[in-house]
Structure 1
Amino acid sequence: MLSNYIKIAWRNLLRNKVFSFINITGLALGMATCLLIGLYVYHELSYDRFHAKADRIVRVTFRANMNGNKINEAHVMPPTAQSLLHDYPEVLEATRLRHAGELLLKKGNDLVRENAVAFADANFFDVFSFPLVNGNPKTALLRPNTVVITEKMARKYFGDANPIGKTLSPKGSKQALQITGVMADFPDNSHVHFDFLMAMAGLDEAKATSWMQSEFYTYLVLPVGYDYKQLEAKLPQAVEKYMGPEIQQAFGMPFIKFREAGNDLGLKLQPLTDIHLHSDFAYDLSPSGDIRYVYGFGAIAVFMLLIAAFNFMNLSTAGATKRAAEVGIRKVMGSVRSALVWQFLVESLLLTAIALLLAVGLVLLGLPIFNDITGNDLTFSFLTLPGLLPGLVLFGLVVGVLAGSYPAFFLSSFKPIAVLKGDTAFRGAGRITAGRQRVSLRSALVVIQFCLSFVLIVGTVVVLQQLNFIRNTKLGYNKERVLVLHETGRLGKNEALFQQQLLQDSRVINASVSGYVPAGHSYNNNFLVYGDNRAGQYVKGIRYDVDERYIPTLGMTMAGGRNFSPAFSTDSSGIILNETAAKQLGWGNDAIGHTVTRPNNDGSKETYRVIGVVRDFHFRSLHERITPLMMTMGDNSGTILVNVKTGDVAGLLKTISGQWSASGVDVPFAYSFLADDFNAVYRAEQQTGQVLGLFSGLTIFVACLGLFGLAIFTAESRTKEIGVRKVLGASVASIVTLLSKDFLKLVLLAILIASPIAWYAMSQWLDDFAYKIDIEWWMFAGAGLLAVVIALMTVSFQSVKAALMNPVKSLRSE
């Protein structure tokens, strides 16, 4: 029986080549899109879940509100781990990580710069399930000056030899690093990615007892089934116990008074599995994802698949008149309804199987492009994903049944007597749609298809407009002609001489020495101060150590006062505020001459006099509002910012590289352009725009395939009507209008329904930006016009073809 079903299904597929092609193509594209996005969603949701204790590990974070300035940081103070382990019995284990900057390691005759370097506590491998392929995880990080490296680094520096016991000699360090372990390369779905883990026992800062400094990423292991919020509720006690005395010493007031002055600070806990998709912290270990993108792309995958299934339902039910006689004869010959249902389901499953094979091929072809757009390294392999094959079979069965169930029950419900008499009525369903008669379900499916298409078009427009706004917004500094020279601190005393050589080049407008860069990698220096003698009214900001050329090099402008100048010896105790800092300190436009005081941990104070106010500039992402910033003259070596003329940048780089080599520094010359560093900050948004654009196009294409199929059926079912109208003098334009207007009404209805949905979705996305565009009417009008034009072109092609048909031939058609 099954073979007979398959044989009949195959014959019907060949008999209706156009409709079969449309169905298979639409289903294949829908399934391919669903599979691609499914891989992405699975990857995002799998972050950090491979650890054996994943459901019990939490990260300690720091949140504060200082005079209205919110602080969210992913790292905390050095003694936090041991203090919480000691005070709270529910903390079973505690471990820490800390960035170690970079290592310059010798490889042959070359120096290699390694940036993925961290310090880790000795119990790091007890908490996390990062396997060691060589070495003892219990003892690998016990002793100072020991290091565990990844397999990739082991091959890079030692080839196939066993690196255990061998050493690496960092430039500038008297102590070599002994290799005590080799760990597997960190998986992509981990928020921790380092190539070198050095023993925390060799870091003096790790032994510090101060609760006024941070930079240590701290993780706790809790009991099985324990609710981390119970521990979090107790953490204010720890903050008051340990931070209170230091605040009293530094700020001269009890902790309770500090809070009464409008300040608040505390420790929070974050589950390990939430870190990647639910983080809003500064200084995180790696760029985080966004759960909203997972939900959004997941919804696109589901709806794309539904659109393809709707196409199948639409075309199957629209062509019901062609199968009515077949159903009637089968029933007269004794076929029961269940057999007919199985016949039509087998046809659906056959089409789905062909579409699934085509979809798998499309995924294999499209995955490298998708990886390039999203920046991921997703794989589609039966070896790496053992559940893939049964998953695909189940996926195909579900899609086949979903797409074919309604047409199967619909077609099998025809009454044989009515069908054979030529009356197309059927039980409980009115009449089979032909010509202008409506079927509400079919109309609803077309509306749903174009609703999703419209939402995606609007989403793409909004994302691209926001990216354009980011590119063109006034940042308060010049990013276009600024060259960033890295690691210039390696020049030592010759750094100033190198700067002077740059300034003597006619292609250089200005050059400043400072490691504080408003985009890309930058030094960080938190600054907690109060104005004049108002102790307790603290403002939390960022301090930039700069020279007198920093402001003109970056093209910043002064709102008041003056820039630093070598002519004023007192500028070593001077300070320049940004407008936000001046405002939060209560001075506004009258900040010049006031004093800013910074209390130190030991009870001493540093006082600066305000000599200038620089206009606000965006030194962080446009996701964040501009916060207080203070500039001082100080130790600012490490990076040179060069404002260059655009005529001969390549020649200038060649000259600078030669000067770098001549300086005798054996560190490789490294540079970047500030504009590129700025653009890298918004890579996630750029990827979102590209992905939305891609899926918008695919969604519209699949929806139009279904619309095209319905247009073909409508034209065929109204062939005689068109012939009569042409004989009576109807023009081609009037016939095209007649055949197109019903479809356009559905598209317009879809636009009306989808507009508030699109507005809400994109408003939520834009809320993540402190500086953003307004959603304007023309975005909806443009997207609607595009949808209407595409739909009209799709329908009109077949409508014009039908209208141009010879009326004699039309009237003879059966």
Structure 2
Amino acid sequence: MGANYLKIAFRNLVKNKVYSFINIFGLSIGIATCLVISLFVKDELSYDRFNEKAVRIVRIVFKANINGGKINESFVMPPTAQALKNDYPEVKQATRLRNFGTPRVIVDGKFYNEGKLALVDANFFDVFTIPFLKGDPKTALTQPNCMVLSQALAEKYFGNEDPIGKLLYSKKGNDTPPFRVTGVFDKIPTNSHFHFDMLGSLASDTEANSTSWMTSNYFTYLLLTEDSDYKKLEAKLPAMVEKYMGPQIIQAMGMNLAQFRTKGNELGFELQKLTDIHFHSEGTNELEASGDIKYVYIFGAIALFMLLIACINFMNLSTAGASKRAKEVGVRKVLGSAKLELVRQFLMESLLLTSFALFLALILVPLILPVFNDLSGKNLSLDFAANPLTFVGLLVFGLLVGVLAGSYPAFFLSSFKPIAVLKDRFVGSKKTIGLRSGLVVFQFCVSICLIVGTTVVYQQLSYIQNKKLGYDKDQLVVLQNSWALGKNESVFRDELLKDSRVANVTASPYRPAGPTNSNNSLAYPENNDSQIMRTLQYGIDERYIPTLGMQIVAGRNFTKGFASDSSGIIINETAAKAFGWGNNAVGHTITRLVGDANDNRKKVYQVVGVVKDFHFKSLHESISPLLMVYENNWGLIVKVKTKDVAGLLASMKSQWAKFNVDEPFEYAFMDELFTKTYIAEQKTSTILSLFAGLTIFIACLGLFGLATFTAEQRTKEIGVRKVLGANVGQIIGLLSKDFLKLIVVACVIAFPFGYWGMNQWLQDFAYRIEISWWVFLVAGVSALAIALLTVSFQSIKAALMNPVKSLKTE
């Protein structure tokens, strides 16, 4: 019986080639897209879960609110880990990590500048699951100046030689002791919130032993006992603040914690689950860019909707074509077929079609994945050999899709009354037609929402790119590693200033876009420590403001040779408002805490100028108070005034080579660094556009099929109308108007959902567009135009048919 069902199913599939192709192709795209997005969602949700003790690992973060200035730091103070381990029995292990970026490494006289370095405590491998290939993870980092390498980096540095015992130098000719390789670990999985190629002993870091609770640089993780609740431990942390931070706050600020809090200030610690870091981290100075759970929801919804739309196409085309199979059902019932047997027959056809679609989807996925990986920055793959359960899951998935897509048509077709259909009295019920209309409305609701979303994302990105930032990001060349020149950096700068193609050069590692130094400062106005606040501090020279095209709105810029400028300070407009001075900040004084809790040093500055607010953070964040002090710094920023940028860069590289430094000449453009800040949004825009196009395409496939069936069912009517004088335009309008009404209904439903969804997305930006009415007009007109083009093909074909031939069809 099963073989007979299969044979009949295959014959029907071949008989209706066009509709079978539409179903198979549309369903395959839906399944392929769903599989690709499922891989993305699975990867995002799996972050840090590879650690065997992941459910027991938490990270401690520091949060404070000082005079309205919010602090949310992902790293904490040096003694925090040991204090937690000593005072709280539920803390089984406490380990720290300090990020040292990408240092220059020297191995056997060769220079490398590729691997990322972190210094970690010796018990780091007791907390995190990082497989060791060589060495003993328990003892590898117990001594100072020891280091373990990733396998890839060990092979790069030492080839086929055994790396254990080899020496790595951080700088040529430096007296700093070299690191000795004591182990090799496997690559840290991609779904980790940190990635390092070198892990050195934190015992090498003198600051790691500091007792100061006023400075913070150490990412601190806790491994809790199996029966502990991290929320209960978090509730005990205020006692740690009182015990350890309280005395140092008195020494640094001259007030106790109670007095500090009565002024509206607050500070303390929170615990964050390891598995929450990727999505729910709000701290500054994260080790890597965090994910966004909103995008997981968005892409997951798109995957589900695309699959539903593909299944809807199947149901629509199957029920719309019911009239062609009505007599078949009638004959089968007269000959004794039970309803259940007919259901099995039609489900078999559905599963056969789904099997073809699944097979085609498995061909499409490897073609789609490289493009998707490039857009998303992932390295996803559909590897059945590595995970056989994936193949089993895929088969179950195909079975469910087949049943989902074919269940309604199967029960619908099997319910026909044999007498009615054999007497040609079968007509589609209003209930069935209403269902098909509802499904078409649903398809285009999703499509219109995606059009609205794509348009709003594009608008926001365009707004970001064109917004006035308060500085001129164009024609700025950043030399990030000019520190390698040492004392010759100023000589190199002076040589650049002699070049007629160079407008200006400033030396500062503080940049409003891209990688930059970060230096927070505690400061208060006019010796009034009750108004102490946390601010960002820039160290600049007298050329910084003019080089970056900033504007002084009050007072003056720093001047070379003014001895008093060593105690002068320039602040931004936001800082002037925060200190209560408004437009009269010049001449007032600011006291900065420049030491730590051990020396309690303070320095008083006089405000010499106010710079117009400029954006030195992402537009996701509001402009915060900023202090600028006059300091000698490294890191050059060059303002170019020539179209021959390539020639200037070649000249700069040639001059760089004359100083015979080991560091290569490297540069970046400020506008490109700014653009990279929003790379996640740009990728999202591209992916959203791609999925919107695919969703609309699948919806149009179904609409095309329905239009074809409608034209076939009304062939005789069209012939009669043409004989009575109807022209082509009238016929097209007749066949198109019902579908266009459905699109209008879809617009009315989709617009509120589209507005709400994109308004939620825009809340992540402190500076954002307002969603304009024309966005919905464009989405609606686009959907109507797409639907009209889809339907018109069959409408025109039917309208141009010879009426004599049309009247003979029945």
- TM interval, shorter chain, is over 0.9
Structure 2 partner of 1:271:
273
3-state secondary structure, aligned to 2:553: strand
Does residue 587 of the first structure (1) align with residue 581 of the second (2)? yes
Q: Is this contact kept in 1: 2:554–2:610, CA < 8 A?
A: yes
User: How far did 1:432 drift?
Assistant: 4.1
Structure 1 partner of 2:373:
371
Instruction: Tell me which of 502, 512, 516 is aligned to 1:508.
Output: 502
Distance 2:785 2:260 in 1: 63
Structure 2 partner of 1:382:
384
Matches within 5 A, 1:767-782: 767-782=763-778
C-alpha distance after superposition, 1:719-755 (max 9, x if no partner): 0000000000011111111111111111111111011
Q: Is this contact kept in 2: 1:39–1:378, CA < 8 A?
A: yes
For 1:200, give the aligned amino acid: L
For 1:226, give the aligned amino acid: S
Distance 1:587 1:698 in 2: 56
Distance 2:245 2:262 in 1: 16
Distance 2:284 2:421 in 1: 70
Matches within 5 A, 1:648-659: 648-659=644-655
Distance 1:507 1:109 in 2: 37
Distance 2:190 2:324 in 1: 53
Matches within 5 A, 1:485-500: 485-500=479-494
Matches within 5 A, 1:534-545: 534-545=528-539
C-alpha distance after superposition, 1:219-265 (max 9, x if no partner): 00112253211111111111122111111111111111111112111
Q: Is this contact kept in 2: 1:320–1:432, CA < 8 A?
A: no
Does residue 560 of the first structure (1) align with residue 560 of the second (2)? no
Q: Is this contact kept in 2: 1:253–1:536, CA < 8 A?
A: no
For 1:613, give the aligned amino acid: V
For 2:389, give the aligned amino acid: G
Structure 2 partner of 1:155:
155
For 1:78, give the aligned amino acid: P
Distance 1:108 1:686 in 2: 43
Q: Is this contact kept in 1: 2:188–2:196, CA < 8 A?
A: yes
Q: Is this contact kept in 2: 1:111–1:668, CA < 8 A?
A: no
For 1:6, give the aligned amino acid: L
Q: Is this contact kept in 1: 2:115–2:153, CA < 8 A?
A: no
Distance 1:26 1:101 in 2: 48
Distance 1:110 1:155 in 2: 14
Distance 1:239 1:619 in 2: 32
Structure 1 partner of 2:20:
20
Does residue 697 of the first structure (1) align with residue 693 of the second (2)? yes
3-state secondary structure, aligned to 1:62: strand
User: How far did 1:174 drift?
Assistant: 2.6
Structure 1 partner of 2:251:
249
Instruction: Tell me which of 694, 714, 717 is aligned to 2:713.
Output: 717
Structure 2 partner of 1:202:
204
User: How far did 1:298 drift?
Assistant: 0.3
Unaligned runs of 5+ in 2: none
Q: Is this contact kept in 1: 2:107–2:167, CA < 8 A?
A: no
For 1:713, give the aligned amino acid: F
Does residue 615 of the first structure (1) align with residue 612 of the second (2)? yes
C-alpha distance after superposition, 1:263-295 (max 9, x if no partner): 111111110001111112110011000111101
Does residue 117 of the first structure (1) align with residue 114 of the second (2)? no
For 2:532, give the aligned amino acid: Y
Structure 2 partner of 1:522:
516
Structure 2 partner of 1:708:
704
Structure 2 vs 1, CA of residues 384 and 645 (structure 1 numbering), >3 Å: closer, same or farther?
farther
Q: Is this contact kept in 2: 1:75–1:217, CA < 8 A?
A: yes
Matches within 5 A, 1:396-411: 396-411=398-413
User: How far did 1:114 drift?
Assistant: 3.2
Structure 2 partner of 1:131:
131
For 2:526, give the aligned amino acid: D
Distance 1:35 1:645 in 2: 50
Structure 2 partner of 1:428:
none
Instruction: Tell me which of 718, 737, 742 is aligned to 1:741.
Output: 737
3-state secondary structure, aligned to 1:92: strand
3-state secondary structure, aligned to 1:114: coil
User: How far did 1:71 drift?
Assistant: 1.4
Structure 2 partner of 1:71:
71
Structure 1 partner of 2:38:
38
Structure 2 partner of 1:603:
600
User: How far did 1:101 drift?
Assistant: 3.5
Distance 2:507 2:219 in 1: 30
Q: Is this contact kept in 2: 1:482–1:673, CA < 8 A?
A: yes
Deviates more, 1:707-716 or 1:667-676: 667-676
Distance 1:70 1:804 in 2: 71
For 1:723, give the aligned amino acid: G
Instruction: Tell me which of 607, 627, 632 is aligned to 2:629.
Output: 632
Per the normalisation by structure 2, the TM-score is 0.98
Distance 2:388 2:669 in 1: 44
Does residue 678 of the first structure (1) align with residue 674 of the second (2)? yes
Distance 1:517 1:186 in 2: 31
Q: Is this contact kept in 1: 2:251–2:600, CA < 8 A?
A: yes
Distance 2:97 2:175 in 1: 21
Does residue 100 of the first structure (1) align with residue 94 of the second (2)? no
User: How far did 1:2 drift?
Assistant: 1.0
Q: Is this contact kept in 1: 2:620–2:767, CA < 8 A?
A: yes
For 1:418, give the aligned amino acid: A
Q: Is this contact kept in 2: 1:321–1:432, CA < 8 A?
A: no
Structure 2 vs 1, CA of residues 86 and 108 (structure 1 numbering), >3 Å: closer, same or farther?
closer
Q: Is this contact kept in 2: 1:595–1:610, CA < 8 A?
A: yes
Distance 2:640 2:756 in 1: 44
Distance 2:110 2:686 in 1: 39
Instruction: Tell me which of 440, 449, 466 is aligned to 2:443.
Output: 449
Deviates more, 1:712-721 or 1:223-232: 223-232
Q: Is this contact kept in 1: 2:420–2:426, CA < 8 A?
A: yes
Deviates more, 1:70-79 or 1:110-119: 110-119
Unaligned runs of 5+ in 1: 426-430
Distance 2:5 2:432 in 1: 31
C-alpha distance after superposition, 1:633-673 (max 9, x if no partner): 12422x10000124111111111111111112111111111
Distance 2:564 2:123 in 1: 50
For 2:266, give the aligned amino acid: D
Instruction: Tell me which of 327, 332, 335 is aligned to 1:333.
Output: 335
Q: Is this contact kept in 1: 2:107–2:168, CA < 8 A?
A: no
Q: Identity of counterpart residues, as a percentage?
A: 59
Instruction: Tell me which of 555, 564, 567 is aligned to 1:570.
Output: 564
User: How far did 1:383 drift?
Assistant: 2.3
3-state secondary structure, aligned to 1:387: helix
Q: Is this contact kept in 1: 2:522–2:532, CA < 8 A?
A: yes
Does residue 641 of the first structure (1) align with residue 637 of the second (2)? yes
Structure 2 partner of 1:226:
228
Does residue 663 of the first structure (1) align with residue 659 of the second (2)? yes
Deviates more, 1:523-532 or 1:66-75: 66-75
C-alpha distance after superposition, 1:108-127 (max 9, x if no partner): 65422135111000000000
C-alpha distance after superposition, 1:443-483 (max 9, x if no partner): 11001100100111110001111000110001111111100
Deviates more, 1:488-497 or 1:719-728: 488-497
For 1:653, give the aligned amino acid: L
C-alpha distance after superposition, 1:584-640 (max 9, x if no partner): 011011000000001343233100000000011111100010001000012422x10
Does residue 469 of the first structure (1) align with residue 463 of the second (2)? yes
